[in-house]
Amino acid sequence: MIRFLQLSFASLVLSLLLAWPGQVKAGDEQTAQISIRVIYAVKGEVKSIDPDLDDIKDELKDLPASKFRLLDRLEVEVALDGTIELQLPGKHSIGVKFQGIDILDNKKKKMLSLQLTIKPALQINLRLTDAGRTLLGGPKHLEGTLILDVSAKLKEPKK
């Protein structure tokens, strides 16, 4: 499922995406592989989508912009309860904290709990299925907006 959130709806986002109680935390060696594609979106008369975004073009077409260009790919491993800060274009940054794992459906489905802090304005608690992804509306940038395509995958502990 794809969600598009805007900074102007920060209070709604926080109330809808709060971490669920009953979270199961794994051992200290748990690590999540976090990937963030930073997309520049702008309104214009001509429609265009960067070929590097073909895998999500259907979701992008539904957003209130007409031009989408991939600006950056950020990939990082985050240990359980660890926080990493990554630089976004402009004066913005994003902090990513891996908070834990929820086990659902009789241990068949894993949900990764992340806390994203887009500085200086927004903090989101987000749950993604293992190897899942979502789109988030980010901060204003130049004449447009940044969109963050966030994905997370549980990295199995080394034995």
Quickly tell me which residue has 């950056």 as its tokens.
72
User: Which pLDDT tens digit goes with each residue over 111-142?
Assistant: 999 999 988 778 899 999 999 999 998 889 98
Which residues, at least 6 apart from 93, have a Cβ–Cβ distance to it below 8 Å? 85, 86, 87, 118, 119
Q: What is the pTM (predicted TM-score) of this model? A: 0.77
DSSP letter, residue 9: G
The backbone torsions φ and ψ at residue 82, rounded to the nearest 5 degrees and listed phi first, read: -90, 155
User: Which pLDDT tens digit goes with each residue over 107-118?
Assistant: 678 899 999 998
User: Which pLDDT tens digit goes with each residue over 57-69?
Assistant: 999 998 999 999 9
pLDDT at 42 over 80: yes
- Per-residue pLDDT band for 157 (boundaries 50, 70, 90) equals low
What share of the chain in percent tops pLDDT 70?
A: 79
Ranges of each domain in the chain: 7-18+31-155
Q: Which residues of 42-72 are buried (b: 16+ CB within 10 A; e: fewer)?
A: eeeeeeebbeebeebeebbeebebbbbeeee
At position 114, the amino acid (one-letter code) is: L
User: Which pLDDT tens digit goes with each residue over 18-36?
Assistant: 333 344 444 447 899 999 9
